[in-house]
Amino acid sequence: MSGTPRRDHAHATLKRRIVEAAYLPGHRLVERDLAEELDLSRIPLREALRQLAAEGLVVTVPGKGTIVAPVTPDDVRDLFDVREALEGLAARLAAERATDEGRARLRECVERARDVRGAEQINARADFHDELVALSGNALLADVLGGISARVRRLFHLTGDRDAEVQCAEHEALYEAIAVGDGVRAAELGVRHVTGGRAETIAAAEAWTGVDPEEATRTRRRRRAG
**5 touches a copy of itself (CB under 8 A):** yes
**5 touches DNA (CB under 7 A):** yes
Binding residues with a copy of itself: total (CB under 8 A): 35
| Of residues 195-224, those binding a copy of itself (CB under 8 A) | none
Query: Helices 73-97 and 198-206 meet at what angle, rounded to 10?
Result: 160
**42 touches DNA (CB under 7 A):** yes
CA angle in degrees (0–180, nearest 5) for 77-89-79: 15
Contact predicate 32/12, CB 8 Å: no
Among 14, 18, 29, 98, binds DNA (CB under 7 A): 29
CA angle in degrees (0–180, nearest 5) for 137-141-146: 115
Site string for a copy of itself, 128-147 (x = CB under 8 A): ----------xxxx-xx---
| Of residues 36-65, those binding a copy of itself (CB under 8 A) | 43, 46-47, 50-51, 53-56, 62-63
Site string for DNA, 105-124 (x = CB under 7 A): --------------------
Alpha helices (H) in 20-161, listed in sequence order: 31-38, 42-54, 73-97, 100-115, 118-135, 139-159
- The distance of closest approach from Cβ of residue 119 to a copy of itself in the complex, given in angstroms and rounded to an integer, is 27
Stretch that binds DNA, among 92-100, 144-152, 186-194, 211-219 (CB under 7 A): 211-219
As a residue count, the chain comes to 226
Q: Contacts from 209-215 at CB under 8 Å and sequence distance 24+?
A: 210/70, 210/72, 211/25, 211/26, 211/67, 211/70, 213/59, 213/61, 213/64, 213/67, 213/70, 214/61, 214/64
Cα-Cα end-to-end distance for the chain: 42
**79 touches a copy of itself (CB under 8 A):** yes
**Which residues lie near DNA (CB under 7 A)?**
1, 5-7, 29-33, 35, 40-44, 46-47, 60, 62-66, 217-224
**Which residues lie near a copy of itself (CB under 8 A)?**
1, 4-5, 8, 43, 46-47, 50-51, 53-56, 62-63, 74-75, 77-79, 81-82, 84-86, 88-89, 93, 138-141, 143-144, 148
